[in-house]
Amino acid sequence: MGHDKLRKFAENETFSCLVQVSSRDLLADGYPNLRDHRLKGRWREDMFPGSDPAAPLVLELGCGKGEYTVDMAGRFPDSVFVGVDIKGARLWKGAKYVETAGIRNAAFLRARIEFITALFAPGEVSQIWLTFSDPQFRSENSRLTSPLFLDRYRRILKKGGIVHLKTDSRFLHEYTKAVCRVNGLEVIACTEDLYSEESRKSLEGKVGDELYEVRTFYERMFLEQGYRINYLSFVIDHEGEYAYPRKPEDFDPDSWRKAEGPRVLFGRDSAETRRQKLYGSTQ
């Protein structure tokens, strides 16, 4: 392991805003049973002392360096924010910032999202942001918007809780739209080209400025490569089991995979050339 990573891991141990959870401890009773973490149901009291017990708690899942967590903590001082990721070296960036700037309403959690129900209590969370999640072309149940994950989110979100998905991946965006459709979930806002004039007009009044003004590490890379940014927000409420979009007319993975084209983070094309190749237009 690189020297820099080791240094970050060591510094992570000293951050009071960073909670690191061992999967082994959560699974101590044997898979698939999960042992509840001490913070479950106690985030506001224990991690954000002095906060309003009714303060909305917002999660950023797969937060990487935590750009949304840090930024929204500044915009919404009456809410509390927790960024979750499994990669300690990425979390270090957000946690270092929060510690240094003395931000009191943001924290980070190093854990697998699969174990989220052992970490948050029913109704403890108000909203979930998924920022540039991996599309997981092959493994549907690894997609962070699959019915398997939605069921986990439903068990920690308040009634009427909202999920936001901001992604470069048209495949993941269309898949998530299909999951909403087959389960009758209420879509609040949806666009396939966030920064276009047309989209801005159609989303007016439905989204906050943070959607445009916060650009994560991955978003910046995808924008430099000429990718369009997709966004979808929806209400998670649903009685009974979530259905999978199994019929080709609901979601055809092969055609959306093809439509998405190769995912290139560090290609040689200019943004204009890639846009022309991907969308047939430089806009």
Ligand X SMILES: C[S@@+](CC[C@H](N)C(=O)[O-])C[C@H]1O[C@@H](n2cnc3c(N)ncnc32)[C@H](O)[C@@H]1O
- List contacts with ligand X (CB under 6 A): 62-64, 85-87, 90, 112-114, 131-134, 216-219
- Report the run of H or E that residue 87 belongs to, with start and end: none
The token pair at 82 is: 């927790």
How many Å apart are CA 80 and CA 221, to the nearest integer? 28
Query: At closest approach, how far in Å is the CB of 87 from ligand X?
Result: 4
Give the distance from CA 159 to its chain's centroid.
19
Sequence length of the chain is 283
How many Å apart are CA 159 and CA 153, to the nearest integer? 11
The residue (of 34 and 113) whose beta carbon lies closer to ligand X is 113
The token pair at 170 is: 């048209």
Query: At closest approach, how far in Å is the CB of 222 from ligand X?
Result: 9
Among 59, 63, 69, 71, residue whose Cα is nearest residue 91 = 63
Dihedral (C-alpha) 96, 72, 110, 216: value to the nearest 10 degrees? Answer: -80
The residue (of 93 and 154) whose beta carbon lies closer to ligand X is 93
- Selecting among 4, 71, 78, 134, the annotated active-site residue is 134
| CB-CB contact of 43 with 82 (8 Å) | yes
Query: At closest approach, how far in Å is the CB of 58 from ligand X?
Result: 14
The residue (of 131 and 191) whose beta carbon lies closer to ligand X is 131
25 catalytically annotated = no
The residue (of 22 and 255) whose beta carbon lies closer to ligand X is 22
How many Å apart are CA 233 and CA 225, to the nearest integer? 25
The residue (of 51 and 95) whose beta carbon lies closer to ligand X is 95
Q: Please report the DSSP string for 212-251 in residue order.
A: HH---HHHHHHHHTT---EEEEEE---SSPPPP--STTT-
**Residues annotated as part of the active site:** 134
